[in-house]
Structure 1
Amino acid sequence: RALGPHLQAQLARLLERLELLLEQLKALLAALKALAAEAQAAASGTDAAVMARLLEIKGIGLGFASVLFTEGLFRPFANRRQVAAYAGLAPTPWRSGTIDYEQGVSKAGNPRLRATLIQLAWLWLRHQPQTALSRWFHDRVRQNGGRFKKVMITALARKLLVAVWKYVTQGVDIEGMAMTTA
């Protein structure tokens, strides 16, 4: 049976939106590829060089590298605490008298960077199983009897951010890290 005129019009509008979205995705992908090409040809110390260093790490592609750089690693930090605080992954202790309570992460930082780091932490376990960070995560989860995986993945995201920051800015390699093949 034929579709009604209102349903046909609605489907036509949905298709137009889909075509617009596909065009925007193509433009974004082209921009990311141009940035990656610039990163491969860049000298040390430039923004493109930071992207190139990020793209060397196995498991970090254009999407993760662009978010990590544009949302967090584009600015200078004095220490690891500032890096974690900017991402909203810094601990928030509460102390009053004899009471000492840990309230979790502050979540006061950049929400897009924090969400990307949580996703990257899960993928890190898959793509970088031999790193010290992955072993640390699995040991801690095993100590807790398999519980608190979500809490531990947040802790891994913080450690991973600090390790990636040190790798990009100071050249400190992440222990056991696998690099992408050319």
Structure 2
Amino acid sequence: MTQLQVLINQVEDKLDGLAKDDVRVQQLQSIPGVGPRLAEVVVAVIDDATRFKNAKQVGAYAGLTPTQFESGTMSRQGGISGRGNKLLRAMLVQVSWLARRCNGKISKIFEDICRGNKTRRKIAVIATARRLWVICWAMLRDGTLWREPSPPIVLSTN
């Protein structure tokens, strides 16, 4: 084992020990696809979840909202603003790519935005990352664990 790997293992062990004592990190890890590192970064960046009034503020804080271009009657949206923590944004995007495989809700969000079009995959993953970020914030704000969405109730007319 190289010296670098030994140091990485020591840091990961220390982070695991700190995460084990933090209820908020455990809370976020209840989301399928969210691991300890993303949960730690989210907790560190959000800090106090009650400081945000709504999901729009949370999305803007992470730089996951589109930029707006307006001139006269023309109004267009561009790419994401990119403000905020770059590490958080990168981790949310990577986890969103993977979470859509094991998390039904994330997968549905991704597929709804893609609309079956392969060219919309990057747009969909950014939107999914924003939604995951907002879900994490809401869970921390409310102090709840992940709940799988219940299937819709179908009433029989017979």
Structure 1 length normalisation: TM-score?
Answer: 0.72
1:152 equivalent among 118, 121, 124? 124
Q: Where does residue 58 of structure 1 map in the other structure?
A: 32
Structure with max Cα Rg:
1
Flag the structure with more relative contact order, 1 or 2, with Cα contacts below 8 A and sequence separation at least 6.
2
The RMSD of aligned alpha carbons is 2.1
Report the Cα offset of residue 119 of structure 1.
Answer: 0.6
Structure 2 residue ranges without an equivalent (≥5):
151-158
Runs of 4+ in 1 over 4 A off after TM superposition: 172-175
**1:151 is aligned with what amino acid?**
I
1:1-182 → structure 2 map (5 Å cutoff): 18-19=2-3, 21-38=4-21, 48-70=22-44, 72-75=45-48, 76-128=51-103, 130-131=104-105, 133-143=106-116, 145-170=117-142, 171=144, 173=146, 175-176=148-149
CA contact (8 A) 1:88 1:109 kept: yes
Structure 1 residue ranges without an equivalent (≥5):
1-14, 39-47, 178-182
Distance 1:25 1:139 in 2: 39
Distance 2:149 2:73 in 1: 41
Q: How many residues align?
A: 147
Report the Cα offset of residue 113 of structure 1.
Answer: 0.7
CA contact (8 A) 2:25 2:40 kept: yes
Report the Cα offset of residue 172 of structure 1.
Answer: 7.6
Distance 1:93 1:50 in 2: 34
Query: Aligned with 1:147: secondary structure?
Result: helix
Report the Cα offset of residue 142 of structure 1.
Answer: 2.5
Report the Cα offset of residue 26 of structure 1.
Answer: 1.9
- How much identity, in percent, do the aligned residues show? 33
**1:102 is aligned with what amino acid?**
Q
User: Taking structure 1 as reference, are residues 174 and 89 closer, same or farther at Cα in structure 2, changes over 3 Å only?
Assistant: farther
Distance 1:49 1:172 in 2: 11
Report the Cα offset of residue 98 of structure 1.
Answer: 0.9
Distance 2:40 2:127 in 1: 22
CA contact (8 A) 2:28 2:146 kept: no
Report the Cα offset of residue 151 of structure 1.
Answer: 1.2
Report the Cα offset of residue 60 of structure 1.
Answer: 1.6
